[in-house]
Structure 1
Amino acid sequence: METPRPLSALPSVGVRAGAFVAILLSGLAGGLIGYSLIALQCDGDCGLPKGIGILVGSLIAAGGMAIVAVLVMRALGEWREVEDRERAGHAP
């Protein structure tokens, strides 16, 4: 017999861990893109501009992925709620 899980708005640990990893990977990709954009355009001593490119690219990409991750986790929560109602025999 399956025990009912307590009601919670929190997504599962696996979903949260997946979102965290996705945010980290997108930050890495954004940093690489920012670095590449500056490296292609800069001649000579470009340490500071490359560092700024890495920082800005990472922040933009990670911030965008964080927004997407939150929206996905909210959608999963709503989906789970609909499935729970259907199992209980209530029409949506």
Structure 2
Amino acid sequence: MRARSTAVDVRSRAGGPYHRRIADPTPDPLPPDAAAPLPSPLARAVAAFLIVVAGLCGGLIGYAVTDLQCDGDCGLLIGIGTLLGAVIAAGGVAVVAVLALRAMAEWDSVQERRGPGAT
């Protein structure tokens, strides 16, 4: 004789899974004007100018540091130090400029979605 199981079946009476299936949500398409907001041309020009200025300042710092550390004929080392300083400084400012421009563009798009009287 076989003993009956006292375990509780958590499945539904139909034998399917306990939870219902949820349909995959389909995202609403974005309007064409909200696809890629761009910052103003003036803001982009200022960012590019500041990247160049940072590169020049970094080059001067790299030159000064290498010149102070080296005695004698160190033309190649001074050139490498100048180039390395310029690239590092310009790269760092470029990262900050890109993040700032994206934030400005997103801020403008949020303000446009809210309407003319919103703050």
Please report the TM-score for the alignment, with normalisation by the length of structure 1: 0.84
Alignment: residue pair count:
85
CA deviation after TM superposition for structure 1 residue 89, in Å: 7.0
Residue 61 of structure 1, aligned match among 68, 89, 108: 89
Structure number with bigger Rg: 2
In the alignment, what sits opposite 1:49? 77
AA aligned to 1:36 is A
AA aligned to 2:110 is V
Residue 103 of structure 2, aligned match among 75, 80, 84: 75
Q: How many percent of aligned residue pairs carry the same amino acid? A: 55
Q: Which has the higher helix share?
A: 1
Unaligned runs of 5+ in 2: 1-31
Say what the alpha-carbon RMSD is for the aligned residues.
Answer: 1.8
Unaligned runs of 5+ in 1: 1-5
- The 2-side partners of 1:57 and 1:11 are apart by 29
In the alignment, what sits opposite 2:60? 32
CA deviation after TM superposition for structure 1 residue 88, in Å: 5.3
1:13 and 2:44 aligned: no
In the TM superposition, structure 1's runs of 4+ consecutive aligned residues that sit over 2 Å from their partners are none
